[in-house]
Structure 1
Amino acid sequence: MKKIHKTQEKLLDILKSNIDDPLTIRELATLVGEQSPGVIHHHLVQLEKKGYLKRNPNNPKDYTIIDSGEKLVVYINKYGIAQCGPNGLMIEDNVIDRIPIASSLLKFSSSEAFIVEARGDSMQPKIHSGDIVIGKKQNFAENNDIVICSYHDEVMIKQIRKTDNGFVLYSFNHEKYIPRLVEIEDLRIEGIVKNILHYD
């Protein structure tokens, strides 16, 4: 990696020590002893260009520290709970936590990743209540993809198939849950399920 300015070294140390509770640019400026947030932004851009940092352009507090050119751990935003059956809770619009995930679990950019916690039994045996579900943000899906989707006031994890009349949402727990036909305009795809972390 390229050599960096002393201010950039200090910034990098601060970012590493606060990775589980990211700071704003103004907060970083205060800790570095710099009055201008614009100067901090410049140094962050330089750190990214030199390969020390990867930032999410849509969220300045979402970043990945790159050590020795390899991302070992990335922090992914957790948005809430998605239901796999009755009594699940609606996903929140705001980030409620940042979860450290081994970068090897992601086969796509961490800036496109998000996490929800599964709730319910409709997707058993593949997805269990309490599992951490890693999704890739996108608003479309192929037939038989497992999606995280919003339907009216519910956020659900379902397998999806498109028909002439809309979408059919399937559960894996066929004995307890029947397929549900929904109209295209009533369903919003939040992302595609890419990985599932089971916790006993």
Structure 2
Amino acid sequence: MHKVQEKLLKTLERENLSGKTLREIGNIIGEKSAQKIKHHLTQLQKKGFISYNSAKRQIDKLQKISKEGFISIPIVGMANCGPATIFAESNIEGYLKVSKKISPNIGNLFILRADGDSMNRANINNKNIESGDFVVVDSEQKVPDSGNYIVSVIDGLANIKKFIPDSQNKRIILRSESTKDYLPIFIHEDDDYNISGKVVDVIKK
């Protein structure tokens, strides 16, 4: 692999390059030519290491499967396990290496760090969710079944809850499963709400 490509990948592991100009990226890695930066970003995309949209200045490092059968999943922030009080952010903080057996949809996974104790009696592959745990989310599964654990965003705030549809009252109920008593969250049709994905596993802290 070309040295410029190696520098780009190493830089993407520690910081988000999306939104930056080619010249700004070049300054970060010590390469003056903007055209060379564009060329090597394109090559990395062809090799499957990154997703690159030059028009939108969007650059995302993709999961790569190692010879040992591991993938690196991006950690994109935190989600609250109590009331929805932590803003949802999509900046990549780092990567966690896990077995590729964690899910069949390895290209759609991201990780959030849980905050709070309202899901400490959840059961995801015989594991609960405690504050500080890494929660693995499949972003492709945005139409959950009743009883699934999901990550949702309410008014720009991320949270982890159990999904219960209530068609009779035209609403969604997001329930906690905790040793403490937490009130459910009721979502109606006109609320600012969307589902980011289904929780598929928990990596204990």
* TM-score, L = length of structure 2: 0.70
Helix, strand or coil for the counterpart of 1:182?
strand
Provide the C-alpha distance between the structure 2 equivalents of 1:132 and 1:113, rounded to a whole number of angstroms: 12
Cα shift readout 1:85-112 (whole Å, capped 9, x = no counterpart): 25x64134351612333252353244x3
In structure 2, the residue matched to 1:196 is 202
Give the conservation status (yes or no) of the 8 Å contact 1:77–1:99: yes
Helix, strand or coil for the counterpart of 2:132?
coil
Alignment map for 1:127-146 (pairs within 5 Å):
127-138=129-140, 139-146=142-149
In structure 2, the residue matched to 1:12 is 5
Give the conservation status (yes or no) of the 8 Å contact 2:14–2:93: no
Helix, strand or coil for the counterpart of 2:182?
coil
Cα shift readout 1:160-184 (whole Å, capped 9, x = no counterpart): 0212221111222276235443213
User: Percentage identity across aligned positions?
Assistant: 24
Match of 2:93 among 66, 90, 97: 97
Unaligned 5+ runs, structure 1: 1-7
Cα shift readout 1:14-35 (whole Å, capped 9, x = no counterpart): 1344342245643554546452
Task: Check 1:16–1:106 CA distance in 2 against 1; reply closer, same or farther (3 A cut).
Answer: farther
Task: Check 1:142–1:67 CA distance in 2 against 1; reply closer, same or farther (3 A cut).
Answer: closer
In structure 1, the residue matched to 2:186 is 181
Match of 2:23 among 15, 22, 26: 26
In structure 1, the residue matched to 2:125 is none
Unaligned 5+ runs, structure 2: 122-127
Cα shift readout 1:144-193 (whole Å, capped 9, x = no counterpart): 22111123464221110212221111222276235443213323212211
